[in-house]
Amino acid sequence: MGRAKKSQVVIAHPENCSGCLVCAMICSWTFTGRFNPSESRILINFPGDIQRTVVFTRDCDSCGVCVEYCNFDALEVVEA
């Protein structure tokens, strides 16, 4: 998908998130060359039995690579 267009943004649908961390793994690989969710620009939080939360860091440029690899429709690219 490459770099984001200035008119697009990635949004999360945490109710669909399975917690698989594929989005975080591909993000970290894309930007650091390592599979390490702690270096990702998308953070998936597991607050116990409550619904997961999906947070994008300030470094996220909405490139959409996480959306491309999400198999659960938890992420979406929309026009800003």
Structural domain spans, the chain: 10-79
- Say if CB 30 and CB 79 are below 8 A apart: no
Predicted confidence (pLDDT) per residue in 52-79, tens digit: 899 999 999 999 999 999 999 999 999 9
Predicted confidence (pLDDT) per residue in 35-53, tens digit: 999 999 999 998 776 778 9
In angstroms, the CA 46 to CA 29 distance is 22
Q: What is the pLDDT of residue 46?
A: 83
- Say if CB 39 and CB 72 are below 8 A apart: no
Predicted confidence (pLDDT) per residue in 3-26, tens digit: 556 689 999 999 999 999 999 999
pTM across the whole model: 0.86
